[in-house]
Amino acid sequence: MTIKRLALLQLLLLVGLGSVYLVPAQTHRQPTGVSMDLPDSIAAWWGVPEQVTQRERDELAADTSFARRIYSNGLGDNILASIVLAGEDPDNSLHRPERCLPAQGWTMMDSKVITIKDPALPNGRLKVTRLHSQQKFPDSQGNMHTVYNLNYYWFVGYTELTSSAIQRAVMDIRDRVIKGYDQRWAYVTVASNITEYTSKFGRSEKTTDEMIQSFITQLFPKITKPTVTGNQVAAVR
């Protein structure tokens, strides 16, 4: 943990404890900045609804909302797109993948913030957190094989974006204490397996990155509302 992150966590704790006495009895809830209607198709991709597990529903607040689809392009590629929208308490609704993936058996290999650049994105860019994970699965003969996965995610408020769960929590406290409203945060996940080791014509890590980033540039304008101006606060990790 860096000194910068430790200092921010200490500040967040102090602000959080102090805000018990400062948070208004009632805060105004802003409309959500993201559409929960994932499109049926995105360019060459066709999506089908993906079931949210009962375990996920049990672990998150009862008023959490979900949208999830698996998209395929007819070439053997699959991408998972998921949106989780917080209810009254975002801390019990928005569990970032660093917390959820290990519980599902994935081992985190790498985590970093990257910037996707494309004219279709707000201000021509979008900062996201990129996770590289692995998990061993048995085949039909019981032989173990390692599957590698890339997972991109970011948080969307009513007006702001961030790739950092810590920064999202800081902004949420700021809005409730100083501005008297709740931005109604959501987080978006776009993920795909690296298939070069599991399929004859599979994709490498590099080409999987390119595929996911291209998909995000097409998905983002379809699910993000005009209130989101593209203000992106630098991630603190």
The residue written with tokens 């970093």 in the block is 112
Ordered by start, the domain boundaries in the chain are: 3-232
The per-residue pLDDT for 179 is: 82
The per-residue pLDDT for 145 is: 84
Rounded to whole angstroms, the Cα distance separating 76 from 65 reads: 30
- CA distance from start to end of the chain: 8
Q: 2: buried, middle or exposed (CB in 10 Å: 19+, 13-18, 0-12)?
A: exposed
**Alpha helices for the chain (secondary structure H):** 3-18, 54-59, 97-103, 165-174, 205-223
pLDDT in tens, the chain (237 residues): 455 544 544 444 444 434 433 444 456 677 889 999 999 999 999 999 998 888 788 878 888 899 999 999 989 999 999 999 988 777 677 777 777 777 777 888 999 999 999 988 888 999 999 999 999 888 777 788 889 999 999 999 998 999 998 898 898 888 888 888 788 899 999 999 999 988 888 999 999 999 999 999 999 999 999 988 766 654 444
Report the residue count for the chain. 237
Rounded-to-10 torsion of CA 121, 117, 81, 94? -80
For the question of whether the overall pTM of this predicted structure is more than 0.85, the answer is no
* Cβ contacts of 109 within 8 Å, gap of 6 or more: 132, 133, 134
Are 113 and 161 a contacting pair, CB within 8 Å? no
Helix axes 165-174, 3-18, angle to 10 degrees: 30
* Cβ contacts of 119 within 8 Å, gap of 6 or more: none
